């Protein structure tokens, strides 16, 4: 029996990121879960709770570990962007049957410097006391650095769903030499399970070099896919179809027993 799959969303995002791929998986008989990180269920039009800004990586990891502990047996942990970092961190802490990392953010061992992430984040990290306040990326920066290559109508709709996130978490990930957060360090010797990595070659916020470094650090078998000309946002149209095909193939190889035709979207039935 295929283990349950736990999807972890990224910064400023929600579990809605994975709606399409989860629908396909569940129609084929897979069990999926997508927990909402603390305070990520709040209306972004409303003032964010002040305590959100002070939550750190350890708070997110502990929350996810507790969510996974409620599920039977080892799970497949999947994550996008910051969720890709969290997937590695929680799998190293509690174990996992497999890893699926989509456009993964860096750990302490896989950081790759670049100007594009700085340009994307500039409007966030120039605000007063951002490192201990809730943060929300602006429309123009999000469109340039997160939704590059995404059709304007889809990008506009996705940007409207972004929610407030923790400045402390961003500080610990973006400036680890200053934050010195122990939770940013992942024990790769514990990550021996099969892993899938998917990233776009034109990702501007979690650079493809981070995904390559992650593939080199993981201690188990890695199936690595770099999609030419694709940016950070994998969850739309033909790009999501490509990702679905890769996921289906990887699951069939590493966890045989459930048939899934990734070309079939049950929403079209």
The model's pLDDT over 209-262, given as tens digits with 9 standing for 90+, comes to: 999 999 999 999 999 999 999 999 999 999 999 999 999 999 999 998 765 555
pLDDT score of 268 more than 60: no
Tens digits of residue pLDDT in 20-58: 999 999 999 999 999 999 999 999 999 999 999 999 999
Tens digits of residue pLDDT in 58-68: 999 999 999 99
DSSP 166-190: EHHHHHHHH-HHHH--GGG---GGG
Prediction pTM value: 0.95
Q: What is the pLDDT of residue 269?
A: 41
Tens digits of residue pLDDT in 65-109: 999 999 998 999 999 999 999 999 999 999 999 999 999 999 999
Q: How far is CA 71 from the centre of its chain?
A: 20
What is the rounded CA–CA span in Å between residue 136 and residue 50? 13
Please name each of the domains of the chain with its CATH number: 5-268 (3.40.50.1820)
pLDDT tier at 266, thresholds 50, 70, 90:
low
């Amino acid at each position: 029996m295929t283990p349950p799959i736990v999807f972890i969303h990224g910064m400023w995002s929600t579990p809605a990121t994975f709606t399409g791929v989860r629908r396909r998986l569940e129609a084929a008989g897979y069990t999926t879960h997508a927990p909402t990180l603390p305070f990520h269920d709040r209306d972004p039009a409303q003032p964010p709770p002040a305590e959100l800004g002070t939550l750190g990586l350890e708070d997110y990891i502990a929350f996810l570990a507790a969510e996974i502990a409620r599920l039977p047996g080892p799970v497949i942990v999947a994550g996008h962007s910051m969720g890709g970092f969290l997937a590695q961190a929680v799998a190293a802490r509690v174990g996992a049957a497999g890893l699926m990392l989509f456009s993964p953010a860096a750990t302490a061992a896989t950081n790759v410097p670049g100007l594009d992430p700085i340009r994307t984040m500039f409007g966030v990290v120039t605000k007063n006391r951002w490192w201990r306040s809730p943060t929300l990326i602006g429309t123009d920066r999000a469109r340039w650095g997160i939704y590059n290559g995404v059709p304007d109508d889809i990008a506009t709709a996705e940007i409207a769903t972004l929610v407030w996130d923790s400045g402390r978490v961003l500080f610990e990930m973006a400036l680890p030499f200053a934050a010195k957060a122990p939770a940013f360090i992942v024990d790769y010797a514990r990550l021996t399970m099969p892993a899938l990595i998917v990233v776009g070659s034109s990702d501007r916020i979690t650079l493809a070099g981070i995904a390559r470094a992650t593939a080199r650090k993981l201690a188990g078998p890695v199936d690595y896919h770099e999609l030419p000309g694709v940016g950070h946002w994998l969850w739309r149209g033909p790009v999501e179809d490509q990702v679905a095909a890769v996921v289906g193939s990887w699951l069939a190889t590493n966890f045989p027993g459930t048939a899934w035709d990734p070309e079939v979207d049950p929403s079209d039935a």
